[in-house]
A and B are shown apart, each in its own frame.
Chain A
């Protein structure tokens, strides 16, 4: 169990679970409550474009357990204006005031548009939304988002859906050091070990959707990611040992192997 003092606070809300999950790619939405429970996730993101409150068939929102924090996202938005419109629709529909800004204007690369994301973040933060923008791990974009009132930043580990892991490791490390907001690693995490590594680095949380949803057993994979995130967080809090770039270092080095000659008199 996570230490109770180690909760993640976003928008004034304390979260004990540091895994965020999605809703978009499951073969049956009925899996959502099981995955939520198995993974220990407390935050769940949901594409507003798929929420249809008027539908007599019901909608995916009804699958989300009540205890979870809903994080509606603006998937499909191609510019700030569409993202803002979707966010306002979310609020009007009673989906709360958390919003994950996703602005993507390249349907093949699926990389977030930093400029439009910052514009949308500024507008929505001023309107009182708790804004979590999805972004490329770029220091200046992150600062712009922080200045615009973001509650956290969500840099991508690798292109969305790619399962390629922490391709942007170095840049995420920069954000973790420089940005005072929670850094939530989003997109591209394909294995629990990669999520674990992100947490060891000091990420505040991880969001995982594709890797769980497209696993042979999504519930078990959800549980595995939950454990990995907890383990990584635990390691971060415990303080990792120093890592050597190359070679090895004996625990008790022989004293003077390299510099001992200094103590001897010249021949």
Chain B
């Protein structure tokens, strides 16, 4: 049974969760909010103040600072990426998820040829950053399967991220060697008791193995990790504070790593989970409060906005502090190529993990970003991608040629 790493984030999480958060939120007043906003560098108490009810009256001021910090660090540019669902076999029973093992949906995993076909379709849109996802089924779609897929994707994309079940350091290193440069891991909730209720079975049940995963990914050589709470599963203030602290804790220990944050928010009526499960609502006002407060606390962190949000809202949120948005999203396995006239996601038996809300294509997203004053950025890394492979003959980006990659054959 895995327990928390000794030099991991858990002791810090315990320290944060021992704080009297309710008292701090109650104590926050107008003066405290103004003082926090005036500080050059915010600490965790300032973050709590900006997340307090009192700060709701200072959203415009917070947004102004958030926007200024973002412009200073990232300019008026927005990175584009898209997720690629490789497989939806899953042995977990997350009560809120459309891929839960209890759901009766068509299960499949892409072959390497299908991965290449999806990659070809997606890369034709101009995207060069891809996020590869799987469900949690170590026997079918474990680390070796993923590494094979990553190796194929590295032939098409200059940056390959993975969003998969928590892996070991060695398994992350396998992905890095295959051409991955970042990992995304949503803790879902940092509240252990709530986590246990929401994840009653499967490998994901182990809270600690997941909590330490971003650190293990960095130890395995990833350039960046992307964290996030799934807003709507538990008290959002506690989870946002924990996520922000997790990010800063990782920045302190891995100063050369790119630490970024996503803010996926559950939508009460369209989630794919068990009928009895009802997410707690985080309304738009609070969502803006979360986004802008996080930016003020973490000026250099990338912030990703999910396609769960509708297009009109994404356009409004983008200038407040967002640096990365997805486009041309399909959350069904094989959905980019396996179409015909009708999208797989629209067929009754092939359920996506969740329903997306912003259905804009890459072209539409690029056009709309320019319209609101943001330059879409398609490529933001080179090493490990196709151009690098062509020059150096490196394994990554070799399009799955086994002759070039003896070190990632199954042991």
Contacts and interface: CB of A to CB of B under 8 A. Distances in A.
Interface of A: 24-29, 48-57, 59, 76, 78, 82, 85-86, 88-89, 92-93, 104-110, 161-163, 210, 213-214
Interface string B300-311: 100000000000
Interface in B57-79: 71-77
Contacts, number: 99
Contacts of B126: 55-57
A55 B379 contact: yes
A53 B77 CA distance: 19
B405 interface: no
Nearest to B298: A108
B105 interface: no
B218 interface: no
Interface of A is mostly: loop
Interface in B244-274: 251, 255-259
B380 A27 contact: no
B378 A162 contact: no
18 contacts: A24-B75, A24-B77, A25-B75, A27-B370, A49-B380, A52-B158, A56-B126, A57-B126, A76-B380, A76-B381, A89-B382, A89-B391, A93-B387, A107-B255, A107-B257, A107-B300, A108-B255, A214-B72
A52 B380 CA distance: 9
Contact of A82 (B300, B380, B383, B391): B383
A49 B379 contact: yes
Interface string B382-402: 110011100110000000000
Nearest to B256: A105
B128 A52 contact: yes
A51 B73 contact: no
B375 interface: yes
A207 to B, nearest CB: 15
B10 interface: no
A41 B120 CA distance: 39
B124 A89 contact: no
A108 B124 CA distance: 34
Contacts of B377: 50
Given A86-B383, A110-B300, A52 B378 contact: yes
Most central of B71, B75, B300, B391 by chain A CB within 10 Å: B75
Contacts of A50: 377, 379-380
A26 B77 contact: yes
A76 B251 CA distance: 16
B76 A26 contact: yes
A51 B378 CA distance: 9
A25 B379 CA distance: 14
Nearest to B124: A56
Contacts of A25: 71, 74-77
B71 A214 contact: yes
Given A25-B77, A28-B375, 4 more contacts: A29-B375, A57-B378, A78-B223, A82-B383
Nearest to A78: B256
Contacts of B388: 85, 89
A214 B380 contact: no
B36 to A, nearest CB: 19
B373 interface: yes
Contacts of B259: 107
Interface in B9-60: none
A106 B72 contact: no
B392 to A, nearest CB: 7
Contact of A107 (B251, B374, B375, B392): B251
A88 B255 contact: no
Contact of A214 (B75, B124, B258): B75
A110 B255 CA distance: 10
Nearest to A213: B75
A92 B391 contact: yes
A163 B258 CA distance: 23
B72 A162 contact: yes
Nearest to A109: B255
B382 A28 contact: no
Nearest to B299: A108
A82 B76 CA distance: 26
Contacts of B257: 107
B72 A108 contact: no
A88 B158 CA distance: 16
Contacts of A57: 126, 366, 378
Contacts of B370: 27-28
Contacts of A24: 75, 77
A89 B375 CA distance: 24
B383 A85 contact: yes
Contacts of A88: 391
Contacts of A109: 255
Contacts of A82: 383
